[in-house]
Amino acid sequence: MTQTVITSLNDVDIQSVAGLAAKIQEEPDVAATKWSAEVEWKGGFRSEATIRDFSSAKSDEPVQLGGTNTGPNPVEQVLGALGNCLAVGYAANATAAGITINDLKIEIEGDLDLHTFLGLSDGNAGFSNISVKVKLDSDASPEALQALHEKVTSTSPVGHTLNRAVPVDITLA
């Protein structure tokens, strides 16, 4: 009998992910990574973030906040980063569990009061709440999907970053 070896599920290269996990198990220091971005101001509320060798990502504010609406604003990008991170987590963990994803949509909303940002009061300038609704279509059992969901939400780097205080050192060079 011939055994079929699955090399891709959910459009994820299983061997690459397994290879990275094996390397990190053998050499734990490989897991310590550093990520970076460079942002250049383009005038007004417009800026562009360059990350690795990709085309720059534009940022701007909506017209009602004084921008020209040429791109998502930074807080929208935070929500997008969380959604993208969760999508990676679902794809990676579903693949590792042998679960086929038919469709995945992640809806994210954040509540933000502009008083502090606009200098009208002291307080929290950031989100006071972020809610996420995951719409996952799969033929897997409800129990398998719940286990997948718990794994993804407990291992999301962006989710962890948003859920705890992270030291941020901002210096003027």
Domain that holds residue 157: 73-164
Q: What is the pLDDT of residues 40-73, one digit of tens each?
A: 999 999 999 999 999 999 999 999 999 999 999 9
Q: Which of 83, 86, 148, 87 is nearest to 109 (CA)?
A: 83
The answer to whether position 14 is within a domain reads no
What distance in Å separates the CA atoms of residue 99 and residue 91, rounded to the nearest whole number?
9
The answer to whether position 55 is within a domain reads yes
Give the three-class secondary structure for 138: strand
The answer to whether position 22 is within a domain reads no
The answer to whether position 15 is within a domain reads no
**pTM score:** 0.90
pLDDT band for 16, please (50, 70, 90 cuts): confident
Q: What is the CATH number of the domain that holds 78?
A: 3.30.300.20
What distance in Å separates the CA atoms of residue 160 and residue 157, rounded to the nearest whole number?
5
Q: And the tokens for 97? A: 């569990």
Residue 103 and residue 94 in contact, taking contact as beta carbons nearer than 8 Å: no
Q: Average model confidence (pLDDT) for the chain?
A: 94
What distance in Å separates the CA atoms of residue 46 and residue 51, rounded to the nearest whole number?
17
